[in-house]
Structure 1
Amino acid sequence: MRSTLRRALAVGAMLTVVGAVTPAVAAYSQDDPRSCNDLMGADTPAFVVCHWLAKPEEALNVAMFWMANDNANLKEAEPMEGHFLDCSAAGSACPDLEGDDTARDENSPAPGDAEDGGTPECEPGQQCSIDGTGEGGDGTQRGLEPGSAGVDARTAAMQNFTPTAQDVAAAAQTPAGQAVIAAKATGVRVWLDTELADDWKAGAESFATAVRRVGALAARPEVAGIRFTSQLGYNATFKTDGEITAFVTAASDALRQAAPGKRLGVHTVVPEFACGVDEACKTEMRKRHPLVASEKVESLLSTDRVDQLSLDTGLLYGGYEAWQINAEKAQHNQWIQVRARSWDVLAQIAAEETGLVGQVTPEQVAARASTAVMDGAAQQVNLWTRVQDAQGAVNRLTAWDELKKLTPIKRRLAAVYNPTTPEVDVTTDLKKIAEAFSQVYLTTA
């Protein structure tokens, strides 16, 4: 029976085809009862349609017909009558076929004189390019907007981002590489915390170099993931939605090649979340920070580009006084909004906390280190161990004893640590971090 079922499924699979047709024909397929377009991804080009030759239930009936009574029908079947011409036989005359006499299969490139190099022709006003720079199924532009700086999707796809063995060996000797090795001895999980936005805007060569450098550091098995940008859409690095989409797409694709199997994360903030239900506050925050409106941040999570989103809470500690929203209320509002949107289904959500450096009370430690987790909105809290303000003053994490008491959520706590500015030395610092945290984000150049 197991063999019979496997054969039935194989027959069913052979009865399904995906064909390439013109956009005009594709338009009619929307009302076709045998259309299987719903099985294809949203980013499938418009000229590709799916059509059932036999629906699954029909395919099963066909398979059972041929296999009934110990394959009796199949055994009795004979080849269909037909007229076949052997062009090699003497006296046979076969027509000459146009072409260059080169044998090709479906994976061969199109002939050099094919129209547009073999790219299907679109109707006026349509974008159906399949080179990764056209319009996606969700209407977003995969390439760059005209006049934008940065590496477009086509250029990124042509780059080789895989680090060499020499790159990996050299990376192990850098401060970040030595920190990764030291972290392994403490048992903490490692994330690399880097910034690729400026390299991406600088052009293909700078971008490829930066990605290979990060990929070389991430080659070690104790590295769990890479956070490749911070304050995405909140700072002044990007000016348009198109730039952000193009950057995240290029960076994610490149890092998937350079560091396969590693999780990818981004950091940002959604200012409107702190407003709660205050509509005037939300309107003002969306006006001030249009690139980090909630729906735009969510769109980044609705693809496979981002595995983890870190939402900053430190940026919520001021700016909402006009609506009588204090820091505690802003933080509470934020996590209610995140939980209501079920973002944890789309990616891992982490709370980024910078407000525990310097002198803090035990109550502040307990609240800021656990509120996001206790509210059920975040799975992880990232605490900075050192923060330098605009005037150059440095505030350090001092609440070590209080953090050690949070043993029940230790596995959810991560420290953000820069190995180029150690408090004692990297090895000693990481041993101390391991007493209160289970993960560490190592800041890399």
Structure 2
Amino acid sequence: MKRPLSGTGREKIIAVVGIVLALLATSIVVAVAETVDPFGGASGPRPPAPACEDLLPPDANPFLCDPNGKTPAELIAGYQEIDTTGTGLVAVSPTVPSKRITICHELSDLAALGQCGKGGQTICQPIDGQRQTWQCYNSKTRQYTTHSISAIKQVCGVGKGRRCGGLDNARADMGATRGVNSAPTEIPVALPSDRPSTQAPTTPDPTAMPTQDPQPSAGENPEVAQAIAAASQQQLRVWLEADLTAAWAAGRTVHAKAVAALVRQAKSAQVIGVNFADSLAFTGWQSAADVRQFMVATSRALRAALPGKRIAVSVIVPELGCGSSLTCVTAMRQKYPLVTKDNVSGYLAGNVVDNIYVATGLLRDDYAKHQISLKGKSQRITPAIAAEAQWLMIKALGWDAIMPVGAREYGFAHQTDRSTWDTARAKLELDTRVRGPIVNHPVGTVTLWAHRSTADARIWRLFDAGLADNAVTEQLAAEPALRNRVGVLFDPTDVEVGIAADLAQVARVAGEVFIITR
């Protein structure tokens, strides 16, 4: 006869059965959760599908949606004021202006218009460190030619008309030639002593670029060395900024000299890296193969000469801002064929660079031609929506898994002596363009254009005149954690007070600086 279970024995069995049932129930719940959310595990429900589909192409993985399940309307809520006021992301500043000269083919009131008339123009920029050799692009013939500075002076150096612009920016090269001058009409606009470039890429008129100006090639000057020392003293992370693409187009000999000049400056122990291309392949190239060759050759030369330094490029990839609009993607690929996401991914392959910086807020007019559906309602693609879509797509492409991704932001510099933004507006702008990308997207740093930049008699500033603070700089200075993720482009030849004083102010609002070389 079996012995009956005691009270204690029964309690043990009941307890064991209870535990088993609890484990079974838990496993069922976990299994259900994992079935519902295969990408995110059991940490929470997947965001609503429309949030992904509105801002990403159909082939993007749904795990890229905001983990809190925010709708697109909520994600871009902070952008709305910026998009509707006509400033901010809508009215972005141009990139760092080059020391370039614009030559009108016909007499034009260049000073008043800021551009040439119907006759078109030729744009020239230096391609060597001494700024004695210049590459020029004719908007009518769409041809590149290379000239000495003396040839340009012959066209622009005499007369009282207004054929040439940007001479103030090139005064170091033009000698006594100052202001906006012109050659008499009998002097041909075609520059003398033409010397064909070794590369003759076909490209749209550079002036058709909404906000992009090419930068000059790397060179050497004492201001760069002074800026490196002053920035290091302020404990800023120091990068050198140089666009070597024009030097590449001018021929391998010019390119090699430009690389060597950059290397000599970057060998300073205080320099952590170099950015060697601005708006890579956006204009001025014949083929993706040529861009790739430039990337590989430049990277190989810089890595060999600068072991331990980081190497970077900055890019504009228009289709990334199209979201789910396939018509927008198609249009952007047709208009900007060398900077499609596939081409840019190819340029970055093979460990040619360590960092990439992606511009935001540009090409407003291009995006405005297209619409996406937000929660079933048609919505024009604003710069804000394009920026949100761009960062999601970069995560989908996995660029942030390959290398650190940074943003290049062009909307904080202003043209007046004092910024017009109050504290609330400055906070909105910083939330949208700096805090948002860093917190919500794969963006490690945001680089601001620019500490100060002078172009066509206009001065753009981050600070107010005289290095005075404004609402933006005050807020950046008050947030050390954010400040460490902010960079600033700095031209040591264009300062407010002096290199040391200006960089001391930059160090209050940023953790790193990109020193522009000439």
What TM-score do the two structures reach when normalised by structure 2? 0.51
Give the letter for the 2:440 counterpart: D
Q: 1:299 aligns with which of 346, 370, 374?
A: 346
Is the Cα contact below 8 Å between 1:301 and 1:346 reproduced in 2?
no
Cα distance in 2 for partners of 1:311, 1:367 equals: 16
- 1:346 aligned to which of 392, 402, 408: 402
Match of 2:439 among 374, 382, 386: 374
One of 332, 336, 345 as aligned partner of 2:392: 336
Counterpart check, 1:204 vs 2:260: no
Give the match for residue 416 of structure 1. Answer: 489
CA–CA distance in structure 2, aligned partners of residues 297 and 194 of structure 1: 19
Report 1:116-155 matches (<5 A).
149=198
What residue number does 2:508 align with?
435
The residue aligned with 1:49 is none
Per-residue Cα deviation, 1:70-114 (whole angstroms, up to 9, x for no partner): xxxxxxxxxxxxxxxxxxxxxxxxxxxxxxxxxxxxxxxxxxxxx
Query: RMSD of the TM alignment (CA)?
Result: 2.1
C-alpha distance after superposition, 1:339-358 (max 9, x if no partner): 12221111111100011112
Match of 1:190 in 2: 238
Paired residue type of 1:267: S
Q: 1:357 to 1:292 in 2, by over 3 A?
A: same
CA–CA distance in structure 2, aligned partners of residues 304 and 353 of structure 1? 25
SS of 1:217 mapped into structure 2: helix
Structure 1 Cα separation of the partners of residues 366 and 339 of structure 2:
16
| Partner of residue 289, structure 1 | 336
1:321 aligns with 2:394: no
Task: State the shift of 1:281 in Å.
Answer: 0.9
1:408 CA drift (Å):
2.3
Alignment-derived partner of residue 4 in structure 1: none
- Mapping of 1:5-404 within 5 angstroms? 149=198, 174-235=222-283, 237-323=284-370, 324-358=380-414, 359=419, 360=421, 361-362=425-426, 363-386=428-451, 391-398=456-463, 399-404=472-477
The amino acid of 1:396's aligned partner reads R
Q: Deviations over 1:101-134 (max 9, x none)?
A: xxxxxxxxxxxxxxxxxxxxxxxxxxxxxxxxxx
- The range that moved more, 396-405 or 350-359, is 396-405
CA distance in 2, matches of 1:250, 1:441: 23
Shift of residue 368, structure 1, vs aligned partner: 1.0
CA distance in 2, matches of 1:148, 1:210: 16
1:225-266 deviations in whole A, cap 9, x for unaligned?
00001111112x212111101111111111112222111111
Q: Distance in 2 between matches of 1:414 and 1:251?
A: 24
- Cα separation, partners in 2 of 1:316 and 1:386, compared to 1, 3 Å: farther
Structure 1 residue 396: Cα displacement: 1.1
Q: Larger C-alpha radius of gyration, 1 or 2?
A: 1
Q: Which has the higher contact order (CA 8 A, sep 6+)?
A: 2
8 Å Cα contact 1:316/1:330 also seen in 2: no
How far off is 1:388 after superposition? 5.5
Paired residues of 2:231 and 2:238 also in contact (CA < 8 A): yes
CA distance in 2, matches of 1:428, 1:334: 37
Q: Check the 8 A contact 1:300/1:306 in 2, yes or no.
A: no
Work out whether residues 391 and 442 of structure 2, in 8 Å CA contact, stay in contact via their aligned partners in 1.
yes
Deviation at 1:369, TM superposition (A): 1.6
| Cα deviations by residue, 1:161-189 (Å, 9 ceiling, x for unpaired) | xxxxxxxxx96x71101110111110001
d(CA) in 1 for partners of 2:340 and 2:308? 30
Compute the displacement of 1:319 (Å): 2.6
Residue 503 of structure 2 aligns with an amino acid whose one-letter code is L
Assess, with a 3 A threshold, how the Cα gap between structure 1 residues 308 and 291 changes in structure 2: closer, same or farther: same
Counterpart Cα distance in 2 of 1:319 and 1:291:
16
Q: CA deviation at 1:298?
A: 1.1
State the SS of the aligned residue for 2:406.
strand
Aligned AA for 2:314?
A: H
| 3-state DSSP of counterpart to 1:315 | coil
Distance in 2 between residues matched to 1:226 and 1:314, nearest whole Å = 24
Aligned residues: 278
Amino acid at match of 1:378: V
Name the SS for the 1:319 alignment partner. helix
Amino acid at match of 1:232: L
CA contact (8 A) 1:318 1:327 kept: no
Higher mean alpha-carbon deviation, 299-308 vs 240-249, is at: 299-308
Amino acid across the alignment from 1:276: G
For 2:258 and 2:390, locate their aligned partners in 1 and report how far apart those are by CA, in whole Å: 34
Alpha carbons of 1:406 and 1:368: their partners in 2 closer, same or farther (altered >3 Å)? farther
TM-score normalised by structure 1 residue count:
0.59
Distance in 1, Cα, partners of 2:453 & 2:369: 28
Runs of 5+ unmatched residues, structure 1: 1-146, 151-169
Give the direction of change, closer, same or farther, for the CA distance of 1:406–1:290 in structure 2 (3 Å limit).
farther
User: For 1:231 and 1:415, how far apart are their aligned partners in 2?
Assistant: 17
Whether contact under 8 Å (2:312, 2:357) holds in the other structure is: yes
Shift of 1:331: 1.0
Would you say the 8 A contact 2:452–2:490 is kept in 1? no
